[in-house]
Amino acid sequence: MDCTRTRELISSIADDEASADDRNVVELHLGTCASCRQFSTAVSMLDRQGRIRPAEPVPDLVAAVTARARPARLGRGGWVRPALAWVAVVMFAQSVPVLLLGNMAGTDAHNARHLGAFGTALAIGFAYAAWKPHRAFGLLPFTSALVATTLISLLADVVGGTRTPVAELLHVSEVVGLTLLWVIAGSPGWSGLSRFGHRRPTRLDPLQ
């Protein structure tokens, strides 16, 4: 075998891609060719250096990741999850009949079913957060927006006289559910408000 083909096989052996027959042929050739023996030695040294080279330094990302993490908070005794699950059951019981029957006081069947769909979906979201509390933070933005816009609409209805405050009490479960979801999500924003509320007063300039 010529040296060119032998050196190709030497590279294949270094990459662990050569067959047993190829290895035998190379061994026979190396026994008679000093130049290829030198090439084989150089390839082996290069391969060894590549395999045992020191690992590149990796920055420690533990602090950055944990700072952004939102571990679930379940309250003392883990009462928050059962409470949120109960809110989900109550809302489900309130919304499903409206969704199926389209019957809601002061609302036509079409709009009633829409309201029932929103309530049912929100109940499912609360139930999911109670089941998988680490997902609560991801559900919080949409749930907050939905409950906030619902409260704005009911306030407009009460002020406009189309609905009574008593009739809107069914939305209390939505507010309670949002509050529990916020607690499970780690009460985002509360630490900033706490620091703002406990900020030391600045000293007044006596010349002012």
pLDDT at 177: 92
pTM over 0.75, yes/no: no
Which phi and psi (to 5°) does residue 181 adopt? -65, -40
Mean residue pLDDT across the chain: 79
CA distance 127 to 84: 7
Kindly report, residue by residue over 152-197, the tens digit of the pLDDT: 988 887 888 777 777 677 788 899 999 999 988 887 776 554 554 5
pLDDT in tens, 106-158: 677 888 888 889 889 999 999 999 998 888 888 899 899 988 988 898 888 78
The residues spanned by each domain of the chain are: 3-51, 70-197
- What is the amino acid identity at position 171? H
Question: What is the rounded end-to-end Cα distance, in angstroms, of the chain?
Answer: 99
State residue 84's pLDDT score: 93
C-beta separation of 140 from 182 below 8 A: yes
More confident call, 170 vs 17: 17
Our measurement of the distance from residue 163's CA atom to the centroid of its chain's CA atoms, rounded to an integer in Å, reads: 39
